[in-house]
Structure 1
Amino acid sequence: MSNSEAKLHLSLEEGVFEISGSELFVSQQIENFKDIILEALQSKNKPSQDLPRHNDDFVPPPPAEPLAPGEKSEHGFDNKSFPRVLHIEDKDVKIIKRMPGTNNAKKSVNTALAYLWGKRSVGVEGVSFQEIRDLCEQQGCLDSKNFSATLQGAREYLIIDGKKGSSSKTCKLTLPGVERAEELLEDLNGE
C-alpha cells in the first residue's frame, strides 16, 4: 500500500463515521472497526419490529441515561474503572501496580496498554511516546535499545504516529488494544 491520502465516509442517514489519513492508517482503522461497521450496516437494512411502520406514528426513543460503572452501552463498550490498578484524577493517570510479563518487552507493552486505556477513559486519545517510555522506566521494564521496536511490534494493539526518532511521536490504542487492555486491567484489578 502507498502512503497516499485516503478517506472513508460512512453516513447511515447522516450519523456519519469518517476516517482520513494515509491508506495504511485508513485500512487499519477499517479493520479495527469492521465488526461495528458491518453490524451497523446490517441493522440498517433490517426492518425494526419495535418502531411503527408509518412516519406519522413515529415517536423518537427517550434519550440515553449515563452508564453506571460496568454497564455496557448499546455498542458494547463498557464504562469501567480499575481502581486497584489505575489512579485517575482529572486527566492525570497513574499506574499503581506492577505490570505483568515474562520479559521486559511484554511488560512494556502491558504498561503502554494500561496507561493508554486510562488516558482514553478521560478523553485523551494520543499520548507522547516519551511519556510511555518514562512509565516503562518507572515500572522497571525499559529496554532502552529495543523500546521503539517493542512498541512498533505491538501494531495489533497500538498505533504509533510520527517519524522515526522524532520527539513528537504519539501512541494510541486500536480497538483490539482497548479490548486487550481491559482484559489485562480486569485481571490485575481482581488480584
Structure 2
Amino acid sequence: MSNSEAKLHLSLEDGVFEISGSELFVSQQIENFKEIILEALQNRKDESLDVVESTISRTPPAAQPIPEGAKSEHGFDKKSFPRVLHIEDKDVKIIKKMPGATNAKKSVNTALAYLWGKRSVGVEGISYQEIRDLCQHQGCLDSRNFAASMKNAREYIIIEGKKGSSAKTCKLTLPGVERAEELLEDLNGE
C-alpha cells in the first residue's frame, strides 16, 4: 500500500462521515469502522433510502487529464488544461504566454487563466497583488493602466476591497469562468 492521499466520504442522507489522509491511514480507519458503516448502510437500505453515497477517491497526480464531464467537489465541471496550467496541490503556474493585442488584454487573460486554475483547486478570493505580480512575471504588466484594465473586466472579474488597499481580492464571475475555459481550451489545443 502506498502513501498517496486517499479519502472516504460517506453520506447517509448528508449525515456525512469523512476520513482523509494517507491511503494506509484511511484503510485502517475503514477497517476500524467497518461494522458501524455496514450497520448504518443496512439500516438506511431497510428504510428504502434511494441513494447511499460512498466513495473512495485518490488525489490525481499533477498534470494528469481529468475525465471530461466529471464534477469537482466544488460543483463545477472539472477540466484540465495541462498545456497551459501546471497545477499541483493548490499551486497554479501558467506555462504559456497569454494572447492579446495589448498588455491590457494580456493582463486580463492572465488573470482569467490564473483565477480559473485557483478556483479549480478550491481557492477563491486571490490577492489583487498576486495577480499584478503574475502579470509582471508574464511580461504584460502596464503598471499605469493595470487597475483600469482589471476594472474594465468587471463582467469577468470581481474585485473586492477598498481602493488603494493591499487587502483587495479578485474572483471570477460565472461569465468569467466560461470565458476562462474558452481561453484555456483554445490555448491547450495549440
For this structure pair, what is the TM-score category when the shorter chain's length is used for normalisation? 0.5 to 0.7
**What's the CA shift string for 1:104-127, capped at 9, x where partnerless?**
111000000000000011110110
Aligned AA (2:105): K
TM-score if structure 2 supplies the norm length? 0.65
**What's the CA shift string for 1:88-138, capped at 9, x where partnerless?**
111111000000011111100000000000001111011000000011111
Greater than 6 Å deviation, 4+ residue runs = none
Q: Percent identity?
A: 75
May I ask how many residue pairs the two structures share in their alignment? 136
Q: CA RMSD in A?
A: 2.4
TM-score if structure 1 supplies the norm length? 0.65
- 1:13-162 to structure 2, matched below 5 A, reads 59-63=49-53, 69-73=67-71, 77-162=76-161
Query: Matches of 2:109 and 2:98 in 1, distance apart?
Result: 6
The alpha-carbon deviation at position 61 of structure 1 amounts to: 3.3
Q: What residue ranges of structure 2 are gaps of 5+ in the alignment?
A: 1-13, 15-46, 58-65
Q: Secondary structure at the match of 2:53?
A: coil
The alpha-carbon deviation at position 156 of structure 1 amounts to: 0.6
The alpha-carbon deviation at position 78 of structure 1 amounts to: 1.6
Query: Matches of 2:140 and 2:54 in 1, distance apart?
Result: 42
Equivalent residue for 1:163?
Answer: 162
Q: What residue ranges of structure 1 are gaps of 5+ in the alignment?
A: 1-14, 16-56
The alpha-carbon deviation at position 77 of structure 1 amounts to: 3.4
The alpha-carbon deviation at position 70 of structure 1 amounts to: 1.4
Equivalent residue for 2:63?
Answer: none
